[in-house]
Amino acid sequence: MGEPAVVVVGAGITGLSCAAELRGHAAVTVVDRVPVPGGVHGWQAPETHELTAAADARLVLGATAVRWDGERLLVIGQDGAELLPAAALVVATGTRPLGRAELGIAGPRPAGVVAATVAAHLAENGLLVGRRPLIVGGGDWALRSAEELLHAGAESVTVAAPDGVLAPPLAGGGPRLRLMPGARPVAVGGGARVEQVELAGGDRVECDALVLAHGVVPLRNVDGAVWEGPRTVYAQPLHDPATVDGARSAGRDAARAVRSLLESP
Amino acid sequence: MRYTGPVRDVVVIGGGVVGCAVAWRLSTTGASVTLVEAAHDLCEGASKGNTGITTSGADCRPGTLEAELVRRSSPGWEALCARLDTPFHRIGTLAVAVTAEEEARLPALLDEARTNGAPAEIVSGEAARRLEPLVTSEARAALHFPEDGIIDSIRLTIGYAELAARNGVEVLRSSPVTGFERDGERITAVLAGDRRIGARAVVNAAGLGAGRISELAGGEPFAMWPRQGQYWLLDRELGGRFRKVIGGVPTETTRGIYCVPTTNRSLLLGPTAVDHDDPSDRAVDRGTLEAVFEAAQRLVPAVRREYAIKTFAANRPASDPVYRVGRDGRVANLVHAAAIRSTGVSSSPAVAELVRSTLEEIGLPVGDDRPNAQTALEPLPRLLGHPDPDELIRRDARYGQVICACEQVTAAEIAAAHRMAVPATSLEGVRKRTRATGGRCQGAFCLAGVSFLHSIEAGRRPEQIAVSEPASTLGVPAGG
């Protein structure tokens, strides 16, 4: 008799740690969109190497998990589509900042309202979403997008942190950094592109982009497992910043939840 | 200097659902046709911001041209959508009465539907919940319109234009009409963008701009104004559970808020109806959006805030009177397909046919279809919901490259959006053709990837990538 099959979506530290904990209890497959494990902590992190070896799981990398029906997961990759049978699914797909509708930001839809994940990614590739961007949020995404935007040539970056909390390197300030702890954007204004952002209380900030970096919510995009999927365990720690220890601990918790799920009928 | 090409039989003004439908209908005839659109892409007005309901005409005012054209269009959707590679499902609508007062209005609405010739029945609250278990347990009764459908109105509009373009219709985007040349009672040329287009006849399908176009052409004046609707878009996880469109009981002044499952299984809530002055105003406000949400929850308690992924506003044309379809009273070769308020999608096939017959009456060569005209688009396979993804990937490995994970849009589909007869020229153009970035993360995950692919496929430098109109660039030049 073989071990039950478990599929973990997401080969970050959380997913790998879960897979490592399940070794000997389940036949684990780990799926990830990008062709290397490590997630936000990177393939070069020592824990990535350690956990990949410890898990000894089948890795399906560079492939996207798209659909879960409680028994099988459809995975799409350039080599083809694969239906992975599984007695349990672990969703360890990380987090994202809140979107515009989730933040309740009113007004028209000019270009230049961009998620921090995108703004940082584009800046790394030399494309600046704004020369005077306003970043909403004060945590790790705000920090990383501020750094990338300044590095890519932004003249100044304003950080509006609605809950007043600023990541330590941001709180230290900087020559082209303007900090507005407690400021909460409520509306955006502009024509073709963003021209200003209105804050709660009525103040306006002139800017040419609004970078959404506030809040930490689970990023879920496997159909059938977005909310309370069947035989699904969610392992998406909401720490800001994301820590290796937090991820390992979430992976261990998920493995425990999977084992109790496998024991139940 | 304007570039002058050969004289066209018909110039269609407006690349919304009505203008594109007219272009499609004329494209199979012997007429030479040019379609001009002011915006950078087709489907940038009311045709992209609507509920996507094809009404069976049950709730149209009896005896009107609107009721007649909607009824004529209704039976043909399955066949037409198959030819235009457009998703369509005839799922029916339930207008749910929660109060005794609402219930008391149902018989009159039933009579109206029957006068229009649209199938309709009054069902008990219990029967309504059997048809659609998501309906509130507070429902006392409901009016069921089984012939109503849901359609992807963007794919419909682009499908009309794509087939038209393949049949030789010239489609000019970013070409706002700035004037007309006249000879007595006739238009002889349309000035649009950098072109002077000689025209034997002109069709005014300019949506919200139709009143201005008529005035510019020396035609009859008519007042039009924007009626703004605000919407919520909710996740497939909820939308996929819907079996019916669910609405409230219409009053004299408003049809109220609908919960509409889209053909992509998302859920739309809306629209509101607020008349205003500025056609470019597409702003949402919190108070209005809250009211939409509450109205929807009153009908469907399962509607919850955590499913919300997007809010947006759109303007549809309001006018008095509505439905000006036919010849202008002053300009002999100007035909209006205008003032089509909110039922433009639902009536577009019959409006197009009426415009064709009107053009035939005034002597244009649009009487017979060419035997060699293309009558259907080759369907473009899409990964989302495909029965055999492996076969798709074997055929084209780019189907194995999921770029937008939320909507399951692949590199193959994004590439195809750039190889159409009327290709995507912006990120919004890619979204409209593929749904990429339109899902639950609203691009937080995939916008960079979609932008890179668009940059390559459209041959644009990254700093030239536009979200929609050319000035709405994704990025700004670094430095000075």
Report CB contact under 8 Å: A33, B399. Answer: no
- The answer to whether residue A1 scores a pLDDT higher than 60 is no
Q: Chain A residue with minimal CA distance to B473? A: A111
Interface contact A218, partner B, CB < 8 A: no
**Alpha-carbon span B85 to B450, nearest angstrom:** 23
Is the N-terminal amide bond of A241 cis, ω within 30° of 0?
A: yes
Question: What is the band of A203 on the pLDDT scale with cuts at 50, 70, 90?
Answer: very high
The token duo for A151 is: 């590095």
What is the bridge-based pairing of β-strands B33-36 and B170-172? parallel
Facing residue for A115 by CB, picked from B313, B443, B462: B443
Quickly tell me which residue has 């702003």 as its tokens: B283
Query: Angle B204-B210-B214 (CA atoms, 0-180°, nearest 5)?
Result: 75
- The answer to whether the CB of B348 falls within 8 A of the CB of B21 is yes
Interface test with B, best of A98, A129, A223 (most B CBs within 10 A): A223
Tens-digit pLDDT profile for residues A29-48: 999 999 999 999 999 999 99
Report CB contact under 8 Å: B479, A125. Answer: no
Report CB contact under 8 Å: B462, A125. Answer: yes
- The answer to whether the CB of B19 falls within 8 A of the CB of B160 is no
Residue pairs between chains A and B whose CB atoms are closer than 8 Å: 155
Please, how many CA atoms are within 13 Å of residue B183, restricted to the half-sphere of its CB?
6
Q: For A77-105, b where at least 16 C-beta lie within 10 A, e where not — what string?
A: beebbbebebbbbbbbbbbbbbbbbbbbb
Q: How far is B426 from chain A (nearest CA, A)?
A: 11
Q: What's the confidence (pLDDT) of residue B336?
A: 98
Residues of chain B positioned with their CB less than 8 A from the CB of A153: 478-479
Length of chain A: 265
Mean pLDDT, residues A63-84: 96
Q: What's the confidence (pLDDT) of residue B425?
A: 98
CA nearest to A75, candidates B190, B402, B66 = B402
Instruction: Indicate the pTM of the whole model.
Output: 0.96
The token duo for B201 is: 């006849």
Report CB contact under 8 Å: B441, A221. Answer: yes
Tens-digit pLDDT profile for residues B381-409: 999 989 999 999 999 999 999 999 999 99
Facing residue for A221 by CB, picked from B398, B406, B471: B406
Residues of chain B positioned with their CB less than 8 A from the CB of A152: 478
Question: What is the band of B153 on the pLDDT scale with cuts at 50, 70, 90?
Answer: very high
- The answer to whether residue B176 scores a pLDDT higher than 60 is yes
The token duo for B343 is: 């039922």
Q: What's the confidence (pLDDT) of residue B303?
A: 97
CA nearest to B148, candidates B6, B255, B246 = B246
- The answer to whether the CB of A218 falls within 8 A of the CB of A227 is no
What is the bridge-based pairing of β-strands A27-32 and A5-9? parallel
Q: Which of residues 214-253 of B touch A (CB under 8 A)?
A: 232-233, 235-237
pLDDT cut 90: percent of chain B above it? 86
The token duo for B209 is: 């701009």
- The answer to whether residue B478 scores a pLDDT higher than 80 is no
Q: Chain B residue with minimal CA distance to A155? A: B479
Mean pLDDT, residues B91-120: 97
Interface contact A25, partner B, CB < 8 A: no
- DSSP for B245-276, written as a single string: EEE----SS----EEEE-TTS-EEEE---EE-
**Alpha-carbon span B340 to B168, nearest angstrom:** 27
Count of other CB atoms within 10 angstroms of residue B183:
8
Tens-digit pLDDT profile for residues B199-243: 999 999 999 999 999 999 999 998 889 999 999 999 998 999 999
Residues of chain A positioned with their CB less than 8 A from the CB of B282: 108-109
Q: What's the confidence (pLDDT) of residue B1?
A: 63
Phi-psi region of B29 (alpha: psi -120 to 50; beta: other; left: phi over 0): beta
Burial of B137 (0-12, 13-18, 19+ CB in 10 A): exposed
Q: What's the confidence (pLDDT) of residue B411?
A: 97
